[in-house]
A and B are shown apart, each in its own frame.
Chain A
Amino acid sequence: MLLRLAIKSLLDRKSSVLLTCFALTISIFVLLGVEHIRKESKESFSSTISGADLIVGAKSGRLNLLLYSVFRMGSPINNISWRSYQNIAAAPDVDWTIPISLGDSHNGFRVLGTNNDYFEYFKYGRKQSLSFELGNQFRSNFDVVLGAEVAASLKYKLGDKVVLSHGIGDTSFTIHDENPFTITGILTSTGTPVDQTVHVGLEGIEAIHQGIGSTHAKLKPSSITAFIIGLKSRISTFKLQRHINEMQEEPLMAILPGVALSELWRMMSMLENTLLLISSMVFVAAVLGLTAVLASSIRERRKEISLLRTIGAPPSFLFLLFQLEALLVSLVSMFTGSALLCVSLSISQSQISKQFGLHLSTTPFSMNSLSILLSMMFITALAASLPAFQAYKEAKTAY
């Protein structure tokens, strides 16, 4: 009966209740959205690379190197000479290397020049290897392997021709249309930036920049952007890192991906906390609005309170009625806020993925978001205690 009374009472004050619901819905949408993006981006970043011991690039910032080599974000400031790469790759401690050459694009997707070691050694998530959904790796200079999302969004299939553009923007004035690439493989989806990458051989990159049309010419690149190293034993990680960082022939930098990621989290946590604080404040403001609506309704509901008392309602019933009304408004807002977030995520998922390389799932529910929702219920109950207590007092002293 209490629930029925609370629902009917809220429906009777539709306009003010709807406005409050709207404010709460927006605040819940923002709060859950921030939490979801924070969690997903962290997971997405953490699972992008696995099993790599060092990443080597031209001397710049550690984060910059991590971002452009692994996450395809930002731009490298310099290249590494092919000779330095070969020297380091030949070191006795090195088990495998993956060369990376960046700087071209196709329809807004970044092009990564590499060799077939990429498909053998690159690991993501929990040391999962890349696998082919269709086709296979490079066999000639103008073969291209597409990430799952590139193929899906551009509706490409094996055998289609792809033309690369110079530069990494959406538009480019230099299009290498004289040397089209043929799609020979499409990778299985990984949920990492690999999905948004167009992979070509280093020879292919060299060929289009030198204007050589031969599909099987042996071309040696003069430089690459970065490379990933896997070591035979982890014990030699720091030794090799120091060696690379102190190389006299060329100023290079080797970073440990895990350490660089931690640095990224430290930088991000400040922003995350600020965003969470702002969205929490928005929620608190909306809850205070709800409290104000309930508190101001006490005066107009005096008659109702006195009637309920007359038919035997104890003051605690009035306290619970006001609490329940607040919790119902909060619950409905949580439902609509979450639903709105799910819809927004489904609509913007591919755009966010393409624009920021972030794979966001469309279900924003996790233990964290659940605890946020529970905290919201607690805050609502706490804030509603004031009008509920006023109603309780009114019920006690109405006569």
Chain B
Amino acid sequence: MSFKDQRPLIELNQVVFSYTTDSSRCVLNIPSWSVSDQEHVLLVGSSGSGKSTLLNLLSGLLIPSKGAMTVAGHTLEKMNGRERDKFRSTHIGYVAQNFNLIPYLSAVDNIKLALHFGSNTSNKRFKVEIVELLAQLNISQSHWNKPISQLSIGQQQRIAIARAIINKPKIIIADEPTSSLDQSNRDNFMSILMEATKTHDTTLIFVSHDLSLSRYFDRIDSMSDINKTES
């Protein structure tokens, strides 16, 4: 599939980000970077190269100090905090390292929580959507109401993916979700994630140190090429 002719879903122009007001100490300086709709991008880079900061900018948790960012048709730097929270819950699905599920909630409640923030659906509809998704991801019904802490890594992987796609987001951001997994769990996770993004026509931004995952992606971007503060 060629993404070159498509209108980008994510577009960054002259984006600079600094945690302090001192612009000379910026952690990100991206002259231009874009990702097309449904494109799967593997983002690689060393620790401290600004990967997590870039992901936080894309999800609207941070706003750029300078420059323009358009994500899924929204100009993030022009939105207020509440609008960005709503944008994140409806347009971004997030899978983090160790899956970041709330351990004391059940699988269903973890997913429901994401649905709560990202959807205007009624409670009754919530249940139908969650049940459909859990069945689709082959999560056994006996695990639906167990606290996350009692589930295996494999089950947690599926639930994290279910939570990320429940709101049918345009973009899934995965922040090193495979870094602490063994080979078999990693392959398992990647195949479920790829299947889910394909089914839901989702764009994927995947951060990892592991270049062996490159076969799953349309494009591999190195932070050293994107972020000009490193050079």
Contacts and interface: CB of A to CB of B under 8 A. Distances in A.
Contacts of A4: 109
A312 B86 contact: yes
Nearest to A317: B117
A314 B82 contact: yes
A310 B62 contact: no
Interface stretch (B89-97, B182-190, B198-206, B214-222): B89-97
Contacts of B109: 4-5, 8
B100 A307 contact: yes
B64 interface: no
A399 interface: yes
A313 B113 CA distance: 9
Nearest to B91: A312
A104 B118 CA distance: 80
A8 B104 contact: yes
Given A8-B105, A303-B100, A304-B102, A310 B59 contact: yes
A310 B82 CA distance: 13
Interface residues of B, number: 27
A245 to B, nearest CB: 75
A314 to B, nearest CB: 4
A62 B101 CA distance: 73
B90 A312 contact: yes
A309 interface: yes
A9 interface: yes
B51 interface: no
Nearest to A315: B81
A311 B104 contact: no
A312 B89 contact: yes
Given A4-B109, A9-B104, A11-B104, A310 B90 contact: no
A309 B86 CA distance: 11
Interface in A284-342: 303-304, 306-315, 317
Given A4-B109, A310-B61, A399 B104 contact: no
A1 B113 contact: yes
Contacts of B113: 1, 5, 308, 311
Give the interface SS of chain A, mostly helix, strand, loop or mixed. helix
B170 interface: no
Interface string B62-82: 100000000000000000011
B161 interface: no
B81 A314 contact: yes
Contacts of A399: 56, 61-62
Contacts of B112: 1
Nearest to B52: A399
B100 A312 contact: no
B20 to A, nearest CB: 13
B146 interface: no
B114 interface: yes
Interface centre among A8, A310, A314, A317, by most chain B C-beta atoms within 10 angstroms, is A310
A311 B86 contact: no
B168 interface: no
A12 interface: yes
A307 B102 contact: yes
A315 B86 CA distance: 12
Contact of B163 (A5, A309, A311, A396): A311
Contacts of A12: 103-104
Nearest to A314: B85
B88 interface: yes
A25 to B, nearest CB: 24
A303 to B, nearest CB: 7
Contacts of B143: none
A365 B89 CA distance: 45
B96 A307 contact: yes
Interface centre among A309, A312, A399, by most chain B C-beta atoms within 10 angstroms, is A312
A11 B104 CA distance: 8
A8 B113 CA distance: 13
Contact of A312 (B101, B103, B105, B118): B118
Contact of B94 (A9, A310, A314, A317): A310
A313 B115 CA distance: 11
Interface string A1-32: 10011001101100000000000000000000
A312 B169 CA distance: 12
A24 to B, nearest CB: 22
Contacts of A396: 81
Contact of B117 (A11, A306, A313, A315): A313
Given A313-B85, A396-B81, 14 more contacts: A1-B113, A1-B116, A5-B109, A8-B109, A304-B102, A309-B61, A310-B96, A311-B113, A311-B114, A312-B90, A312-B117, A314-B81, A315-B81, A399-B62
6 contacts: A310-B96, A311-B163, A312-B118, A313-B89, A314-B82, A315-B81
3 tightest A-B contacts by CB?
A312-B89, A312-B117, A12-B104
